[in-house]
Amino acid sequence: MLNILPRPAKIESDIWVDEAIWGHRLYDEQTPWLTILEFLGIVQSETLANRAFIEEKVNDLRYTTYSRLYLRNILFNNPSLEAILVEFSDDETRWKVWIEQMNQDSGGLSNSDFSYLKSRFASFKDFVAIIKFLQGSAIEGDSNKRWSSKFVFPYGPNCLYEDLRIKDTSASNDRRFFGRTGELLYLMLSRSSKGPEILFYLQKLGLIVDTKSQIKRSKWDYLVATLQPQSDIDKTKPSGSPPYLPLENLPEYDAMANDWLGVLQCDMPDYDCLPHLVTIVGVHLIIYLLNRAKEVLEQPPQPNFILEIVSPKKTVIRDLAASSFLQNNNLPQQAVEFYIKKSLVDAEWKTCETSSDPIGDAIKFLNIKFGWPNDDHDMEGAGAPNKLVETLCSKAITRHASHLGKFHRTWAREIGLSSSRGSKRIRYVPTDSLLRTLVLCTVPFRMEFQDFLTELYNKYGFIIGDKQAADIIASGGADQEAFAANAYRLEQRLVSIGLLKRLSDACAYVQNPFALEVSQ
Amino acid sequence: MYDEAIQRILKRQKNFPPIKFESKYLTDLVNNFRSDNPKTVILTGTAGDGKTFYCREIWQSLATQDDLWDSSKKIQSLSLGNKQLVVVKDLSELNSIEKIDLLKKVAEAIVNPDTAEVYLLAANDGQLVEAWVEAGNESSVQFVRKKIEDLLYFDQREIAEVHLYLYNLSRLNAAKIFPRILNAIIEHPGWNECSSCPYSNPSDFRLRCPIVENRSRLEGNPIENIFKSRLVDLLELCDLNGMHIPVRQMLLMIANALLGHPEVKDRLMTCEDIPNILDKGKASLASIYRNFFGENLSERRRESTDVFSILGRFGIGNESSNRIDNTLIFGEDDPDLRPYYEKLMLTDSYYGADANYQRLQRAYLEGALPDDEEAFLNLLRDQRQRLFFQIPKDLASEMQLWQLTAFQYAGEFLENIYRALQRSERIKMPLINRLVKGLNRIFTGLLVKNQDKLILATSGSYSQARISRVFEEFISVTKNRGESVSIDLDANTGNPILVVSLSNNVAKISMTLNLTRYEYIMRVAEGALPNSFSRECYEDILAFKTRILRQLFVRRRSEQEEESSENCIVLRLINELDSDGMVHNPHVLEINI
């Protein structure tokens, strides 16, 4: 049995079940990219405070965040920029009209003054070109999210800020899209043994900058800094209550950290490693989600994922991959029910049932265990402890279903692990970009193809070839040929994206293209 | 086991000489074992490449009268002067204990040239790698395993420090072996028996035996054999696209081409079938042009036979152009097309416009019944396959021969790139320019027309982004201060490679230019969208761009050329193309910090 850390004294949750199992919290609406952005903000803040990836006291993460509202207004709340460029012919007027308009219409700022920009650019046209360029590479730039939930690409520390809710001149952190998943990611990597190494590489890339470090900052980061007034650049505020990650040590933390290092050590230009980091975080958080659920359900660890390598015709693997998806998708909710039921086997609960004030004692018990009920509304119609538990169960499940219950489905789709392409059911069917990430994480230089399949199974529980599917084949779920054909399709896919070198009909090597030149 | 079976059959048919043709490495290998200091040899290759054949031939060249080749023995040996040659004709025949025991000894012989034994070991490379993994962790075994993996992976025959040759028979060029096999079959004395057959040369050509007809077509005109040269073209393109066809598959393909017929037993004709086929007027179904693609076989059988599945990827029969289809359908009545129709269709009344074709053609033009219509469309397929092999050289470009395949630029690739390089000719500049135009469109994601400079651009964040507007550099295509874009032959594999050089001091970047990639880049240059035409090639080319960019940054570091300074950032964005679709030196944006 793993040792669960004590839950925080102050609980920001109306039913302490999801958080007790998985932490506070995994959030479906926070996409993997936004998770990384939240994470990078924390690392930067903690680096400046000299304690990056060091958790001095467990579950007590407090850091500072940036708002960068000037930058965000310019990039994402600036609808008339191009109209002004076209409408007026001389630069002087363009700047004047634009600055006036921005000073008046910007959100979340009081007494704003955008006039600092004029002297920094050779012309208004150049300014527009740069804004358009930064908008083009923005994260969630094309989405229909509110403007304060759009993010400039994380070129460096001057690009990091938190998700906010803006109302007129005020800004508040409503955790709408920064739902603490990045905080959990930060805690997980801090609790792995690889924090310092990861920090080294993040600094090498210029994503994180230490004031003392000699590493040259990226020119893109400078560029983004240029769009902000000096007064806004260093303005910070505290992060609020700390997140909660229930387990101090888990092999999953190190597995994720190792994969990060696998990606970070590849020789890739620019910020090419970032999308891979984003994807692999997704894989590991899904495994974490399912592993924790399996532990609560007292099932052996390591979830399995049957992956269909997309085939033009319907195959038996397609059905198996869909069933595998469904089975995993149901695990978290089963864990929630089981967790509540299991807590009631407790002797204390039995005494409630027989006590003089069963309802009163039950409420006390449930309050200690689950932080519920909070008010009379929660207890409506509860005449007996059992009724109360039923209400709790149904409320916990409703609550679970609205966010955490969607995590597996949403994130699997986001990272390219699942899709319903060509079928009515969602199934595990990896995209090329996910496959590429898996190769970078798994193959330091080259690896024989069958070994690669074994490694994917050992690391992630991915079942692709017939050797990994031995149990399914033995139970008659599919024949060996079907899985062998699935592996063959993977081989073809890897060849086509330059990740596999076939020597003959019987021998092939998966290769990491970004390690190739270094090692040769 | 095939080799053994063939030897058994040969013994029974005493008067029937075997089909024999020259094998490329045989002399080298025999000489190795005859030398004073022979090295151990590992033969690998795909099933059907001839590993057992090589072992037997080498044995027989070295053996004295007492050393009889015994195909039932898994391991056999003979004396080579002061050494003992141990031959293992198929590693997979050994059980795992025998294998481990053997490989330990082989490792010793490879590491130490003074051992008393030298080995000749045949195995396909998958089994080879697997066997070495199982052979244990002794240092010599591990060392040799690593070396063998390196040889396989980097496609080399020998490597420093070890006493070993690794011959990969899958590297034999099918296009080079094919003519030899073909001649061995066509000129086989067994055909003499046909001379006494009444169907061999009847007065009415319609009563001619299709087998004899097929053989004579394959034999062709000794001066110019278009049929053979097109076949060699196809095989050469397979080689260039990394699709290996083993010797056994080529034998199978030729046998099927000569004997195929969909309506006889096993779908292969024997002499007894001929009268019946001719009687029913079904000789055209034995068309050698169909048989080369396995059309006589069931779809399942065709797809599961390697050689037909590989040739099937050319789509010959399904692909066509208006020009060719118009000739096939309307050629008889259209005055403009009539000359072509005569030349391509009427001249071949055996497999071309025979009575059946002409009847269905008329029915089709007059509005045929559904059954007849389908039958005619099937005939069109047959005719396209025939035309691919029969359009004369002087009509090839006019009729757009390669549009009959899925690779429209295959002819150009073969003739003007691959063969030109083999003849040590310079690649013509307009070709390189078109390639560069295609690359530029893929590299930038914009519909640019620049073709004399390679445009290197990024998105600023992700080097493989679809649209890249951050201008990094122009690279001159013609040689200029160490910059160049050229097409060469790879010294190791002999395949064409696209080479980009950024400076004399920075490593060159190269990418294998296979048939598929060439087709892709050319189609993009002609207007296809990079991302929709072929995902796979798109990814390949973007990865190539990433590698070029990496070297560009190396060059910048070494030349210390950095435009931005501490208080000023310099950026160049590609915002617009001029009216000719060209990118010029992009506007420099300076930002004061």
Asked if A404 and A18 count as a contact pair (C-beta separation under 8 A), the reply is yes
What are the beta bridge partners of residue B510?
B499
> Token pair for residue A402?
């609205």
Which secondary-structure segment (H or E) carries B455?
strand B453-458
Evaluate if residue A35 carries a pLDDT over 70.
yes
Specify the 3-state DSSP secondary structure of A326.
helix
- Residue B557 pLDDT class (50, 70, 90 cuts): confident
Query: What pLDDT is attached to residue B539?
Result: 82
Task: Give mean pLDDT, residues A136-161.
Answer: 91
Identify all chain A residues contacting B540, using CB atoms and an 8 Å cutoff. 496-498
Query: What mean pLDDT is reported for chain A?
Result: 90
Task: Give mean pLDDT, residues A80-94.
Answer: 94
Alpha-carbon distance A393 to A338, whole Å? 10
B244-291 pLDDT tens trace: 899 999 999 999 999 999 999 999 999 999 999 999 989 999 999 999
The residue behind tokens 């149990």 is: A471
Q: From residue A374, give the alpha-carbon distance in Å to each of A311, A399, B203, B217.
A: 52, 15, 105, 92
Task: For A450-502, give the DSSP string.
Answer: HHHHHHHHHHH-EE-STTTTHHHHHTTSS-HHHHHHHHHHHHHHHHHTT-EEE
Query: What pLDDT is attached to residue A191?
Result: 96
CA of B308 to nearest chain A CA: how many angstroms apart? 16
Identify all chain A residues contacting B589, using CB atoms and an 8 Å cutoff. 121-122, 126, 129-130
A330-341 pLDDT tens trace: 999 999 999 998
DSSP state of A218: P
Alpha-carbon distance A328 to A418, whole Å? 12
Evaluate if residue A437 carries a pLDDT over 90.
yes
**Closest to A34 (Cα-Cα) out of A193, A221, A182, A190:** A182
Name, in order, each residue with C-beta under 8 angstroms of A375's C-beta and a sequence gap of 6 or more: none
The β-bridge relationship of strands A462-463 and A305-306 is parallel
Which H, E and C letters describe B175-210, residue by residue? HHHHHHHHHHHHCCHHHHHHHHCCCCCCCCHHHCCH
Q: Length of chain B, please?
A: 593
Alpha-carbon distance A149 to A76, whole Å? 9
B124-165 pLDDT tens trace: 888 888 889 888 888 889 999 989 988 888 888 998 889 999
Residues A466-470: contacts with CB within 8 Å, 24+ apart?
A469/A306
| Contact status of B592 with chain A (Cβ, < 8 Å) | yes
Q: Is the dihedral of CA A224, A227, A231, A237 positive or negative?
A: negative
| Contact status of B16 with chain A (Cβ, < 8 Å) | no
Query: What pLDDT is attached to residue A28?
Result: 94
B76-112 pLDDT tens trace: 999 988 899 999 999 989 998 999 999 999 999 999 9
Name, in order, each residue with C-beta under 8 angstroms of B509's C-beta and a sequence gap of 6 or more: B499, B500, B501, B502, B544, B547, B548, B551
Nearest to B464 among A220, A225, A272 (CB): A272
* Axis-axis angle for helices B515-525, B429-444 (nearest 10): 80
Of residues A379 and B297, which shows the higher confidence score? B297
Task: For B8-39, give the DSSP string.
Answer: HHHHH-TTSPPP----TTHHHHHHHHHSSSPP
| Contact status of B444 with chain A (Cβ, < 8 Å) | no
Query: What pLDDT is attached to residue B28?
Result: 93
| Contact status of A222 with chain B (Cβ, < 8 Å) | yes
Evaluate if residue A517 carries a pLDDT over 50.
no
Query: What pLDDT is attached to residue A518?
Result: 39
| Contact status of A122 with chain B (Cβ, < 8 Å) | yes
The β-bridge relationship of strands A427-428 and A418-419 is antiparallel
Evaluate if residue B72 carries a pLDDT over 50.
yes
- Residue A382 pLDDT class (50, 70, 90 cuts): low
| Contact status of B588 with chain A (Cβ, < 8 Å) | no
Task: Give mean pLDDT, residues A95-121.
Answer: 93
Distance of CA A62 to the CA centre of its chain: 20
Of residues B535 and A42, which shows the higher confidence score? A42
> Token pair for residue A157?
């520390």
CA of A270 to nearest chain B CA: how many angstroms apart? 6
Evaluate if residue B387 carries a pLDDT over 50.
yes
- Contact between A498 and B539 using a beta-carbon 8 Å cutoff: yes
Query: What pLDDT is attached to residue A387?
Result: 84
Query: What pLDDT is attached to residue A348?
Result: 75
B351-369 pLDDT tens trace: 998 888 999 999 999 987 8
Q: From residue A290, give the alpha-carbon distance in Å to each of A199, A343, A372, A441, A479.
A: 28, 20, 25, 21, 27
CA of B24 to nearest chain A CA: how many angstroms apart? 19
The β-bridge relationship of strands B117-122 and B40-44 is parallel
| Contact status of B551 with chain A (Cβ, < 8 Å) | no
Distance of CA A459 to the CA centre of its chain: 19
Helices (H), ranges, B241-331: 247-259, 274-279, 288-291, 299-304, 306-312, 322-330
Nearest to A220 among B460, B540, B547 (CB): B460
- Residue B561 pLDDT class (50, 70, 90 cuts): low
| Contact status of B397 with chain A (Cβ, < 8 Å) | no
| Contact status of B309 with chain A (Cβ, < 8 Å) | no
Identify all chain A residues contacting B244, using CB atoms and an 8 Å cutoff. 504
Mutation target to probe the B interface, by most B beta carbons within 10 A, among A227, A505, A514, A518 is A505
- Contact between A446 and B153 using a beta-carbon 8 Å cutoff: yes
Task: Give mean pLDDT, residues B412-435.
Answer: 95
Task: Give mean pLDDT, residues A471-479.
Answer: 90
Nearest to A270 among B45, B127, B461 (CB): B461
The residue behind tokens 């690998």 is: B44
Specify the 3-state DSSP secondary structure of B352.
coil
Alpha-carbon distance B406 to B410, whole Å? 9
Query: What mean pLDDT is reported for chain B?
Result: 90
Task: For A492-507, give the DSSP string.
Answer: HHHHHTT-EEEEETTE
A417-432 pLDDT tens trace: 999 988 889 999 999 8
* Axis-axis angle for helices B174-186, B247-259 (nearest 10): 40
A202-261 pLDDT tens trace: 998 889 998 766 667 788 898 999 999 988 888 899 998 999 999 999 999 999 999 999
- Residue B562 pLDDT class (50, 70, 90 cuts): low
Asked if B126 and A491 count as a contact pair (C-beta separation under 8 A), the reply is no
Alpha-carbon distance B111 to B106, whole Å? 9
Of residues B356 and A186, which shows the higher confidence score? A186
CA of B186 to nearest chain A CA: how many angstroms apart? 30
CA of B461 to nearest chain A CA: how many angstroms apart? 5
**Closest to B310 (Cα-Cα) out of B225, B266, B246:** B246
| Contact status of B514 with chain A (Cβ, < 8 Å) | no
- Contact between A432 and B126 using a beta-carbon 8 Å cutoff: no
Of residues B64 and A471, which shows the higher confidence score? A471
Evaluate if residue B427 carries a pLDDT over 60.
yes
Specify the 3-state DSSP secondary structure of A510.
strand
Identify all chain B residues contacting A267, using CB atoms and an 8 Å cutoff. 550
Evaluate if residue A73 carries a pLDDT over 90.
yes
Evaluate if residue A284 carries a pLDDT over 70.
yes
Alpha-carbon distance A255 to B205, whole Å? 76
- Contact between B539 and A506 using a beta-carbon 8 Å cutoff: no
Evaluate if residue A13 carries a pLDDT over 90.
no
Alpha-carbon distance B195 to A2, whole Å? 88
Asked if A83 and A98 count as a contact pair (C-beta separation under 8 A), the reply is no
- Contact between A504 and B128 using a beta-carbon 8 Å cutoff: no
- Contact between A507 and B125 using a beta-carbon 8 Å cutoff: yes
Query: What pLDDT is attached to residue A520?
Result: 36
Residue B424 class from Cβ within 10 Å (0-12 exposed, 13-18 middle, 19+ buried)?
exposed
Specify the 3-state DSSP secondary structure of A77.
coil
Evaluate if residue A99 carries a pLDDT over 50.
yes
Mutation target to probe the A interface, by most A beta carbons within 10 A, among B589, B592, B593 is B589
Evaluate if residue B175 carries a pLDDT over 50.
yes
Task: For A145-193, give the DSSP string.
Answer: S-GGG-B----SGGG-----EEETTEEE---SS--SHHHHHHHHHHHSS
pLDDT cut 70: percent of chain B above it: 99
B455-485 pLDDT tens trace: 999 888 877 778 898 999 999 999 999 999 9
Asked if B327 and B341 count as a contact pair (C-beta separation under 8 A), the reply is yes
ipTM > 0.95 (yes/no): no
Which secondary-structure segment (H or E) carries B489?
strand B484-489
Asked if A28 and A411 count as a contact pair (C-beta separation under 8 A), the reply is yes
DSSP state of B332: T
Identify all chain A residues contacting B465, using CB atoms and an 8 Å cutoff. 137
